[in-house]
Homo-oligomer: A and B are copies of this chain.
Amino acid sequence: MNYPNGKKNKQGKQKSPQSNQKYSNRGMTLEEDINTTNSYYLDIGKANIHKKPTPVQIVKVNYPKRSAAVITEGYFKQASTTDYNGIYRHKYVDFEAKETKNKTLFPLANIHDHQVRHMESIIHHGGICFLIIRFASFDETYFMDATLLFPYWYEKVNGGKKSIPYKTIKQKGYLIPFQYQARVDYLTIIDKLYF
């Protein structure tokens, strides 16, 4: 299936566990990896974090007799918040996940103004707010606190650069370790940074 952002939802071929982080994620999208990770966290009682459903504007619904209602006309709506939120160790956790094939920078084109305002609001209210950014070409997935995004965002808004250099994310972000069940084990980073 194609999503409105142009991403293809590949049927991932899950590979056997490997210690080599670089090659561990091939064939799985970042979203699939995060969903697997969140399910694992939920199963072991470590955290309760979910992806929000894709927002859909439902226009027409058919109610055939003796079977389920069918949506026959609907449209994708732009999300007004980030994609993931939940609770971990009594704290509210909120993040957005983005994948790029770019090798030198993370383009800000896929981040929306209302999402940035949402992130600012979450930090204002005392939540943990961040981005998970995967550089698909290197199979490296980074944890980047939302406060690191803001200066780049305002530079873009004011007509400046429209991206964050890969180098900066490598330096100021945190490489998220790969575990077999927690494929994007971002809570280990949260443990270090916020507790």
Chain A residues with a Cβ under 8 A of chain B = 1-2, 4, 42, 45, 47-48, 50, 52-56, 58, 61, 63, 68-77, 80-81, 85-92, 94, 118, 121-122, 124-127
Contact of A71 among B50, B75, B88, B122 (CB under 8 A): B75
Contact across chains for A92 and B81 when beta carbons are under 8 A apart: no
From A79, which residue of chain B is reached at the shortest CB distance?
Answer: B53
A166→B73 CA distance, assembly (Å)? 40
Contact across chains for A63 and B121 when beta carbons are under 8 A apart: no
Interface contacts beyond A2-B63, A56-B74, A58-B74: sample of 6 additional A-B pairs, CB < 8 Å, sorted by A: A47-B125, A52-B52, A56-B56, A56-B71, A89-B126, A90-B127
Contact across chains for B58 and A55 when beta carbons are under 8 A apart: no
Given A68-B75, A91-B92, is A118 in contact with B53 using a C-beta cutoff of 8 Å?
A: no
Contact across chains for A69 and B61 when beta carbons are under 8 A apart: no
Contact across chains for B127 and A87 when beta carbons are under 8 A apart: yes
Contact across chains for B74 and A74 when beta carbons are under 8 A apart: yes
